[in-house]
Structures are given as C-alpha cells and as structure tokens.
C-alpha cells in the first residue's frame, strides 16, 4: 500500500488552575478524541507498524480522559463511550501484537511468515474498524461535548463541575496511583500477567499526569514522570520478551535480568515518592 501522509496532531490543551471542571473536560476529552482520529487515519491508510501503536496510545489517553472526568460526565455517555473504545482497543491490539512479532523478533518462525501474518491481520483489522465505524467516534464526541448535554446532573457532580479542575484532577490521580500501588512493590516476584496489569495501570496514571501536571507549580511532576518513563520502557521490554517466549521466539539481544533489575529499582523509587499533586 502507498504511504499516505498523516495530518499532524493538534497541540494538546494546557490546563490552568483557574479553570473549572466543566471548562476543562471538553478541552481534554475532545483533544484526545481528535488525536485518536488522526492516528486511526494513519492505521487505515498506511502499513507503518507505528500506526497501530500510536492508535492504541491515543485510545488509552482518551479512556484516561473519560476516567478522569467520569464524576461529571453523564453516566450513559461515559459508559457507552468506554465500552466502545475498549472494543476498538482489542481489535487494534491483535494487529499491534502481530507487528511486534514481525518486526522486533526472530527465532523459530521464518520472518516472512511473521510478516505475512501481520499483513493478514492488518487487512482484517481495517475491515473490522470500518464495520464498527471507528472513524466516526471523534466527531460524535466533539458533538456531544459541544453544549451541556454531556454533564452529569446530580448535586455532587454540579459541585465538582464548578470547582477548580484541580479537585477532579487530584481525585483521578489518587485513584489511579492507588491502583498502581495495589500491585505490590516487588516486580521480581510478580507473575508475568500481574506485571502486565501493573504496566497498564501505570500507562493510565502517566496520561493523567500529563493532562494535569500544569495545575501544580514549579514542574513538581517532572522528576516523577522521568522515572515513570524509564520504568515503562523497561516494562515494555519485559512484555516483548514474555510475548516472544509464548511464540517460541527471542527478541534481539535483550536481557530479561537487566531490564527487570532496572525496572525494579525505578518502581521502588516511585512507590516511595511523595505525591506531587497535593
């Protein structure tokens, strides 16, 4: 397939402490939806393996945005969108896994076989996404959040909507960080599946940090985020190694011991860190 130039993603909104929750929610949610639309367009038009990866990242960011503002979003809207986006995430995930195997591993299966499988999965993924009308979701989100119908009407939600957005941000960060910590502090003793769940929880937490870090002064979040990015890199390597083993393959010259040691040290530092969002 010919490569089609994908439009650039628009600049992400920067929140300030003077915003209320109801001012911030449409900005963050619709920007994340637009980002997904851009990368989905690339996935549908190009064979670049970065297309599925970036589409999944954008979907995670959009899901994280909905999670953050869920207390003030109408329940039927939030639940419907989350279910729909998780469905797209699973569909694209099959292609992402096939691309990783085809491009990042070698071993018992011939590379041509792996690439042929990735090409087959790519065609199937495109058909399924078109059938599920994934390309329409960004426009539908923008339409729903342009006005007041998206707002939850309860008294508690009204209080949060009119409160500084930092109140909602702190709630979302607290919930997400507590979920990360619930997986335990010792990476070496975790089963592969448990480590993978921690990795997913950390991704959501990172996107929440990126949405809301500007609400706290003096770049308090940056040292924390630098360690978090390093940890996620190591956990990604460990995940690739685990997936390769499942298929009887190896991933280049990656050392599981080195990646696990580095990840364990980074996770220990993060777990012991003070919250920067209080």
Q: Where are the domains of the chain?
A: 13-163, 165-278
CB 44 within 8 A of CB 126: yes
Across the range 42-62, mean pLDDT stands at: 95
Query: At the topology level of CATH, where does 13-163 sit?
Result: CHAD domain (1.40.20)
Across the range 187-195, mean pLDDT stands at: 88
What is the number of other CB atoms lying within 10 angstroms of the CB of residue 191? 8
Handedness of CA 5, 210, 205, 86 (dihedral sign): negative
- 136-179 pLDDT, tens per residue? 999 999 999 999 999 999 999 999 999 999 999 999 999 999 99
Q: Which of 32-41, 111-120, 206-215 has the lowest mean pLDDT?
A: 111-120
pLDDT number for residue 89? 97
**Average pLDDT over the chain, rounded to whole?**
90
Q: Above pLDDT 70, what percent of the chain?
A: 91
- 242-266 pLDDT, tens per residue? 877 777 766 555 567 888 899 999 9
189: which residues sit within 8 A by CB, 6+ positions away?
none
Phi and psi at 11, nearest 5°, equal -60, 135
Across the range 75-92, mean pLDDT stands at: 97
pLDDT number for residue 8? 59
Q: Which two tokens stand for residue 185?
A: 């502090």
- Cα separation of 249 and 240, whole Å? 10
């Amino acid at each position: 397939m010919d490569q089609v130039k994908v439009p650039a993603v628009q600049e992400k909104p920067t929140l300030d402490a003077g915003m209320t929750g109801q001012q911030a929610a449409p900005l963050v949610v619709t920007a994340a939806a637009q980002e997904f639309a851009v990368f989905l367009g690339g996935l549908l038009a190009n064979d670049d393996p970065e297309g599925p990866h970036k589409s999944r990242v954008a979907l995670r960011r959009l899901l994280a945005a909905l999670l953050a503002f869920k207390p003030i979003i109408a329940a039927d809207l939030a639940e419907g969108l989350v279910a729909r986006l998780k469905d797209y995430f699973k569909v694209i995930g099959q292609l992402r896994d096939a691309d990783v195997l085809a491009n990042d591993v070698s071993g018992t299966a011939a590379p041509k076989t792996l690439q042929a499988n990735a090409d087959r999965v790519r065609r199937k993924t495109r058909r399924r996404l078109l059938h599920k009308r994934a390309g329409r979701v960004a426009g539908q989100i923008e339409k729903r959040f342009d006005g007041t119908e998206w707002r939850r009407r309860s008294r508690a939600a009204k209080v949060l909507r009119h409160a500084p957005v930092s109140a909602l941000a702190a709630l979302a960060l607290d919930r997400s960080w507590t979920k990360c910590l619930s997986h335990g502090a010792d990476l070496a003793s975790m089963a592969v599946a448990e480590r993978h769940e921690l990795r997913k929880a950390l991704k959501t937490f990172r996107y929440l940090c990126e949405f809301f870090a500007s609400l706290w002064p003096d770049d308090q979040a940056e040292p924390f985020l630098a360690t978090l990015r390093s940890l996620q890199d190591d956990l990604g390597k460990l995940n690739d190694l685990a997936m390769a083993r499942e298929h009887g393959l190896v991933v280049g010259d990656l050392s599981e011991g080195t990646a696990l040691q580095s990840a364990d040290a980074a996770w220990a530092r993060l777990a012991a860190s003070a919250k920067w969002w209080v």
